């Protein structure tokens, strides 16, 4: 007994004496933000503000300027007792098409819900419910909880102070002392002691290992508590979200009935995913309003049986069943793949499916229609096979060389390897790939409104063309032609082709005549 007491006493002594550099950074931040009592006394937070979003990997030029994605206004509240948050959004999208989505997000530690329509890529539950509503996938819930934690500076500092064992040393970030806590790297302003930057080390399907930061500024004293009214999200140092709070109030009464959701969507709601969460995919597809809220990034688990290789003509197969497709052409002793969409998970599925169906015929060519993250994000999964030449449109070669040289050690799908030796073929106007039997696949650079250096695929023996994002073959055509549709017809004309059908990186297949009738040539 005496021994136990002595051991306990010395353990307490050890803990209390060991005020490490890390703990003192946290203590100083808590004090600078108003002190432990004031921060622990927060029962509710009611807030209002606006945010702008940019998407770097939907640029016009490969590796070029980011596209402005949307401007949002939001208001909401956090209820500490139920650990719940509600945010009401009005999101005005600029790209790829102007539109407004009005919706609410309700997040608890156990489940998350979306009331209203927040995406063009709606899942089966959202489509079924009237008005639209669905429960968040485990991926989205885990991502949303992570981002709420990142932004909740007061709660984060308190959690760090209360859990000193989880606060670990970390290297300085941008000249500021930092600590590591629960997957976050938190850097502190040496002058004020306030938290300055909260970083996660994320994985981006194009750029590999990336740093994703919230940078806090515009600190305001609200009833003795200091709160950053501005936060910029930086992806590898580029601002992709600019958030400004216009009003923050503590301990106001909140209407917790506004946390209630319809029973139909409560049932079977996912828990937060614990592993391999594609945080960047989940967030950035929401930036542009095309996120498919599903625990499989490739397809809606509520509606699709999964991906499949669909033969659309002899030797021509389209990956169907997901939100994004590839085309696979069987040659005499190898395969040609057009597009590597979404993630390496989808590409690894494709590699496995083609190996099973075409034994002894490895993928030799991967041609990407364009550089956007949703159609190129699985490139490593195919190139990792080795012996594959990457084919890209004019002006995209240097971009993809940089992409393949970027470190990709955090890829949840694929072991890190070097892609330095991957041959990249940049197509100036057109490029023909052929086999010993004379079968051909030709890619043509398109003059188009969607992305510079975009390629159209052409399979002569089947008279099938392949395009992505300028025409979605399958669904009804719009009433009037648009520049994307016209660019398909113009490319066909310029190349002197006689297509029967087109297959798409989205959709399925459609008769080419439908398009010429609309575009009028």
What 8-state DSSP symbol labels residue 20? -
Question: Which helix or strand (DSSP H or E) is residue 467 part of?
Answer: strand 464-467
- Which of 74, 87, 110 has the alpha carbon at shortest distance from 259? 87
Q: Which two tokens stand for residue 251?
A: 């301990």
Q: Which of 195/484 has CB closer to Zn ion?
A: 484
Q: Which of 67/372 has CB closer to Zn ion?
A: 372
Q: How far is the CB of 469 from Zn ion (least distance, A)?
A: 4
Q: Which of 103/466 has CB closer to Zn ion?
A: 466
Q: What is the DSSP string of 355-388?
A: HHHSTT--EEEEE-S---HHHHTTHHHHHTTSS-
Q: How far is the CB of 55 from Zn ion (least distance, A)?
A: 11
Q: How far is the CB of 372 from Zn ion (least distance, A)?
A: 4
- Identify which range of 8-16, 188-196, 354-362, 368-376 contacts Zn ion by CB under 5 A: 368-376
Q: Which two tokens stand for residue 177?
A: 């002392």
Q: How far is the CB of 468 from Zn ion (least distance, A)?
A: 7
- Identify which range of 98-106, 164-172, 256-264, 365-373 contacts Zn ion by CB under 5 A: 365-373
Q: Which of 186/368 has CB closer to Zn ion?
A: 368
- Identify which range of 31-39, 159-167, 300-308, 366-374 contacts Zn ion by CB under 5 A: 366-374
Contacts of 267 (CB under 8 A, 6+ apart): none
Q: Which of 372/439 has CB closer to Zn ion?
A: 372
- Identify which range of 69-77, 249-257, 346-354, 369-377 contacts Zn ion by CB under 5 A: 369-377
Alpha helices in 275-324, H assignment, sequence order: 279-287
- Identify which range of 80-88, 131-139, 271-279, 371-379 contacts Zn ion by CB under 5 A: 371-379
Closest chain position to Zn ion (CB): 372
308: buried, middle or exposed (CB in 10 Å: 19+, 13-18, 0-12)? middle
Q: How far apart are CA 259 and CA 267, in angstroms?
A: 15
Q: How far is the CB of 465 from Zn ion (least distance, A)?
A: 17
Q: Does 95 bind Zn ion (CB under 5 A)?
A: no
Q: How far apart are CA 147 and CA 181, in angstroms?
A: 14
Number of residues that bind Zn ion (CB under 5 A): 2
Q: How far is the CB of 125 from Zn ion (least distance, A)?
A: 26
Q: Which of 58/104 has CB closer to Zn ion?
A: 58
* Residue position matching structure tokens 């970083």: 199
Which residues of 327-454 form beta strands (DSSP E)?
Answer: 327-330, 335-338, 363-367, 389-393, 424-427, 430-434, 440-445
Q: How far is the CB of 371 from Zn ion (least distance, A)?
A: 8
Q: Which of 372/501 has CB closer to Zn ion?
A: 372
Q: How far is the CB of 454 from Zn ion (least distance, A)?
A: 8
Q: Which two tokens stand for residue 91?
A: 């999101």
Q: How far is the CB of 405 from Zn ion (least distance, A)?
A: 23
Q: Which of 88/469 has CB closer to Zn ion?
A: 469
Q: Does 339 bind Zn ion (CB under 5 A)?
A: no
Handedness of CA 118, 103, 477, 490 (dihedral sign): negative
Q: Which of 123/448 has CB closer to Zn ion?
A: 448
- Identify which range of 271-279, 349-357, 364-372, 508-516 contacts Zn ion by CB under 5 A: 364-372
Q: Which of 373/384 has CB closer to Zn ion?
A: 373
Q: How far apart are CA 408 and CA 166, in angstroms?
A: 27
- Which of 377, 39, 426 has the alpha carbon at shortest distance from 206? 377
Q: Does 506 bind Zn ion (CB under 5 A)?
A: no
Q: How far is the CB of 101 from Zn ion (least distance, A)?
A: 20
Q: Does 118 bind Zn ion (CB under 5 A)?
A: no
Q: How far is the CB of 502 from Zn ion (least distance, A)?
A: 16
Q: How far apart are CA 156 and CA 277, in angstroms?
A: 21
> One symbol per residue from 458 to 477: x for binding Zn ion (CB under 5 A), - otherwise; what is it?
-----------x--------
- Which of 99, 91, 96 has the alpha carbon at shortest distance from 60? 96
433 strand-pairing partners: 441
- What is the three-class DSSP state of 238? strand
Q: Which two tokens stand for residue 241?
A: 């979200």
- What is the three-class DSSP state of 333? coil
Q: Does 372 bind Zn ion (CB under 5 A)?
A: yes
C-alpha to C-alpha distances, 384 to 292, 365, 373, 399, 489, nearest whole angstrom: 27, 12, 18, 18, 35
Q: Which of 285/372 has CB closer to Zn ion?
A: 372
Q: Which of 91/372 has CB closer to Zn ion?
A: 372
Q: How far apart are CA 254 and CA 498, in angstroms?
A: 64
Q: How far is the CB of 347 from Zn ion (least distance, A)?
A: 17
Q: How far apart are CA 295 and CA 482, in angstroms?
A: 34
Q: Which of 334/450 has CB closer to Zn ion?
A: 450
Residue 6's Cβ-side half-sphere holds a number of Cα atoms within 13 Å equal to: 3
Q: How far is the CB of 377 from Zn ion (least distance, A)?
A: 11
Q: Does 324 bind Zn ion (CB under 5 A)?
A: no
Q: How far apart are CA 390 and CA 426, in angstroms?
A: 8
Which spans of this chain sit near Zn ion (rule: CB under 5 A)? 372, 469
């Amino acid at each position: 007994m005496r021994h136990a007491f002595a051991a306990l006493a010395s353990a307490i002594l050890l803990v209390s004496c060991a005020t490490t550099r890390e703990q003192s950074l946290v203590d100083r931040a808590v004090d600078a933000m108003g002190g432990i009592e004031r921060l622990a006394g927060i029962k509710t937070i009611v807030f209002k503000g606006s945010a702008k979003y940019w998407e770097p990997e939907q640029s016009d030029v490969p590796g070029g300027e980011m596209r402005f994605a949307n401007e949002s206004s939001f208001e909401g509240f956090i209820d500490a007792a139920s650990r719940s948050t509600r945010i009401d959004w009005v999101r005005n999208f600029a790209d790829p098409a102007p539109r407004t989505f009005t919706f609410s997000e309700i997040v608890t530690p156990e489940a998350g819900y979306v009331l209203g329509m927040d995406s063009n890529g709606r899942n089966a539950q959202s489509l079924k419910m009237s008005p639209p509503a669905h429960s968040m996938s485990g991926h989205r819930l885990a991502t949303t909880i992570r981002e709420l934690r990142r932004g909740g500076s007061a709660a984060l500092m308190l959690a760090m102070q209360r859990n000193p064992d989880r606060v670990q040393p970390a290297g300085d970030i941008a000249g500021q002392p930092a600590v590591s806590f629960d997957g976050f790297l938190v850097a502190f302003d040496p002058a004020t002691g306030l938290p300055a930057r909260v970083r996660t080390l994320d994985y981006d399907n194009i750029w590999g290992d990336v740093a994703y930061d919230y940078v806090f500024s515009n600190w305001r004293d609200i009833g003795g508590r200091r709160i950053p009214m501005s936060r910029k999200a930086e992806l590898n140092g580029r601002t992709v979200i600019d958030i400004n709070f216009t009003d923050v109030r503590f301990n106001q009464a909140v209407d917790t009935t506004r946390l209630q959701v319809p029973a139909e969507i409560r049932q079977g709601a996912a828990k937060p995913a614990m592993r391999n969460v594609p945080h960047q995919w989940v967030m950035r597809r929401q930036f542009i309003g095309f996120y498919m809220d599903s625990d499989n990034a490739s397809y809606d688990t509520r509606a699709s049986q999964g991906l499949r290789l669909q033969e659309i003509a002899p030797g021509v197969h389209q990956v169907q069943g997901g939100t994004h497709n590839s085309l696979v052409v069987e040659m005499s002793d190898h395969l040609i793949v057009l597009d590597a969409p979404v993630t390496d998970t989808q590409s690894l599925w494709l590699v496995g499916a083609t190996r099973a169906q075409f034994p002894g015929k490895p993928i030799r060519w991967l041609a990407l229609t364009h550089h956007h993250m949703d159609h190129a994000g699985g490139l490593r999964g195919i190139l990792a096979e080795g012996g594959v030449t990457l084919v890209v449109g004019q002006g995209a070669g240097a971009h993809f060389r940089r992409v393949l040289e970027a470190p990709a050690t955090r890829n949840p799908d694929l072991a890190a390897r070097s892609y330095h030796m991957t041959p990249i073929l940049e197509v100036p106007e057109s490029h023909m790939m052929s086999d010993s039997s004379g079968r051909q696949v030709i890619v043509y650079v398109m003059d188009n409104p969607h992305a510079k250096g975009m390629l159209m695929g052409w399979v002569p023996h089947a008279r099938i063309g392949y395009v992505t994002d300028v025409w979605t073959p399958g669904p009804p055509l719009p009433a009037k032609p648009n520049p994307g549709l016209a660019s398909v017809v113009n490319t066909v004309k310029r190349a002197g082709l006689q297509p029967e059908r087109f297959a798409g990186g989205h959709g399925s297949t459609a008769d080419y005549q439908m398009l010429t009738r609309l575009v009028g040539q």
